[in-house]
Structures are given as C-alpha cells and as structure tokens.
C-alpha cells in the first residue's frame, strides 16, 4: 500500500477480511437460528392467539426482523474487536439496506437456502460497507454509504 492511500483510508488487512468473513458466517447462522426460535416459542404463540390470522402468518417476518437487529448488535461488537473503522454505521447501513428481504425473501425459502442466502448476504454486505466506510473523509464515507444503502434497499424491495 502506498503512502497516499494509507493516509486516506484505515487499514484493511487480510486478517480483517478473514474476521469479517467469519462475522458474516456467524451473523447469518445466528439470524436464521434466532428467527426460527423466536417464531416458534415467542412471536408465533403470541400472535397466533389473537383473532387476526394475517398477523399469525407474519410471525416469521417479525422474527427475522428482530433476529437481524440482535445479530447486528453482535456484529458491532465483533467489528469493534477487529478494529474496523465506523462499525456501527456499517451494521446500520446493512440492516437498513436489506430490511425488505427479511419480510419478503427469507421467510419463503427452505431452511437450507435461507441459511446459505443469509450467510452470503452478511459476508458480502459487511465486506462492502466496512470497505466503503474505511475512508478517513467522513463526508465521502457518509455519502457513499447512503447511496449504497438506498440502492441496496431498492434492489431488496424488488
């Protein structure tokens, strides 16, 4: 890495990349497992006791959203331990950008495809946002993050 590039960006080493890939795997597995547990033992029974069948059908959607937020909290701690620059912003951007997928895509997949999709999504998402946010120029980092998050949200909504 040349001197100019290291002055403009925080370090992004192979060990950091490996840690982020590990985070994506753990986060994807955690999101799926927690969503299924929440849906089966907490949200499903609570919503299905009410008279609204529509809310009962959406219990897995709510469970995925809650699980994504919980996995995001774990991800912030993980990224801080990896010394990643602006970890909270990276996690918030990924959760906002992929929010529609937790309601329309993942609940309709078989368990194996849901796990694979969540792991791949988290690996690529965390790698992309941590790479974008490593710029020391806060204005550039924020603008690129907002644009990427909006584009990801739009693509997730299709």
pLDDT for position 1: 47
Q: Give the whole-angstrom CA distance, residue 62 versus residue 145.
A: 26
Q: Is the pLDDT of residue 20 over 80?
A: yes
Q: Give the whole-angstrom CA distance, residue 108 versus residue 123.
A: 21
Q: Give the whole-angstrom CA distance, residue 155 versus residue 132.
A: 19
List pLDDT tens digits, range 81-131. Answer: 999 989 999 999 999 999 999 988 998 899 999 999 999 999 999 999 999
List pLDDT tens digits, range 53-92. Answer: 677 778 889 999 999 999 999 999 999 999 998 999 999 9
pLDDT (average), residues 126-155: 94
pLDDT for position 5: 57
pLDDT for position 51: 57
Phi-psi region of 86 (alpha: psi -120 to 50; beta: other; left: phi over 0): left
Sorted by where each begins, the domain ranges of the chain are 14-157
């Amino acid at each position: 890495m040349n001197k100019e590039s290291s002055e403009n960006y925080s370090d992004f080493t192979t060990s950091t990349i490996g840690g982020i890939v590990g985070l994506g795997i753990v986060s994807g597995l955690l999101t799926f497992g927690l969503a299924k547990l929440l849906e089966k033992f907490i949200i499903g029974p609570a919503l299905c006791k009410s008279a609204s069948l529509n809310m009962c059908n959406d219990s897995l959607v709510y469970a995925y959203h809650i699980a994504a937020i919980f996995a995001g909290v774990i991800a912030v701690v993980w990224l801080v331990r990896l010394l990643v620059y602006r970890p909270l912003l990276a996690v918030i951007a990924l959760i906002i950008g992929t929010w529609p997928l937790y309601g329309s895509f993942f609940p309709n997949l078989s368990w194996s495809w849901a796990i694979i999709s969540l792991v791949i999504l988290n690996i690529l998402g965390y790698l992309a946002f941590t790479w974008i946010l490593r710029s020391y120029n806060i204005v550039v980092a924020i603008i690129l993050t907002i644009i990427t998050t909006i584009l990801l949200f739009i693509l997730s909504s299709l």
